[in-house]
Amino acid sequence: MMEELRSMEEYRTLIKEFRTVCKKSFSNIYLMPDDIKRYIELHRVSYKKDNNGIVLFFDESTHYSVYLYVNDQSGFEVPVRDKKLLVRNMYRTREKNPTLLNIQKHLQELGFKQQDTLVRIQGDSLNIFSKCKIIEGYVKEMKEKGFRCIAPDFSRFDEIERIIMDSGTIKDYQMIYRTLEEKKLLEEGTYLCIVNSSDEICAGGVVDVDIAKGIVREGAAAVKTEYKMKGLAPILSYYRYKWLCDKNIPTIQGWISVYNEPSLRYHRSLGYSIMDKYVDEWLLDV
């Protein structure tokens, strides 16, 4: 039976109760407490519990992110919902331990299919921006041609998201989820875009930034199809890293597919480090 998760206290109680009956459990819950609390307060968390564990569903609008707290030796169930289900399993080396192998075997039996394996990247914004400054002359040249970077108002956020989604840069289940109310309260510059002389958006990007902690946790950017190969991507990167430095955000993190060699090479060239942290994405489409 599905129930709504109503408080952090209820969440902690659920976990504590299961730990008493299952000393060795598997969990893919890597969310920070503040993130869990945010979804609870938005009334977007439901769960199913039984003797084999707890399955939590975080409603991300286009899909449910599924978090497990289960006995990997038992046949836990993940109920089919009205939207696709995404399970992310994180691990620190490419060598998966027996517990994780049991979990992924069971996910396959439930109908989940592995979509991708991502690796964590991390960089220093000041260092990266110093490397981007080499194109300042080109930025100035393109500005003289009418291309400029702006922090758009809320009314243009949807268009930027569509450009990102249409580009295939990321999947809809990898897009940062925010409610309309949350978007209106974002720090100016969270969404950036390049516009031409007609004020048409040619490229755009968005980041998940924690100003207080000084860290970017996620990000996505793309160039509109008809403006590709015109050098707008590095210009957008230039302004993004400049904005991060102006905001005193020292650390940038993100995820890249281990199979996307061009992107990995590009980020290495900017000074990003490839971390020993991986995520397998498993999807059950309805």
Give 263-279 as a DSSP string. HHHHHHHHTPEEEEEEE
Amino acid 216: pLDDT: 92
Q: How far apart are CA 31 and CA 98, in angstroms?
A: 23
Q: How far apart are CA 143 and CA 194, in angstroms?
A: 10
Amino acid 279: pLDDT: 96
Average pLDDT per run of 10 along the chain, which is 286 residues long?
94 94 89 94 96 95 96 88 96 86 94 96 95 94 95 96 92 92 95 97 95 89 94 94 95 94 92 95 94
Amino acid 207: pLDDT: 95
Amino acid 38: pLDDT: 96
Amino acid 72: pLDDT: 83
Amino acid 16: pLDDT: 93
Q: How far apart are CA 70 and CA 8, in angstroms?
A: 19
| pLDDT per residue as tens digits for the range 153-180 | 999 999 999 999 999 888 999 999 999 9
Asked whether 245 and 125 are in contact (CB, 8 A), the reply is: yes
Q: How far apart are CA 52 and CA 110, in angstroms?
A: 15
Asked whether 55 and 26 are in contact (CB, 8 A), the reply is: no
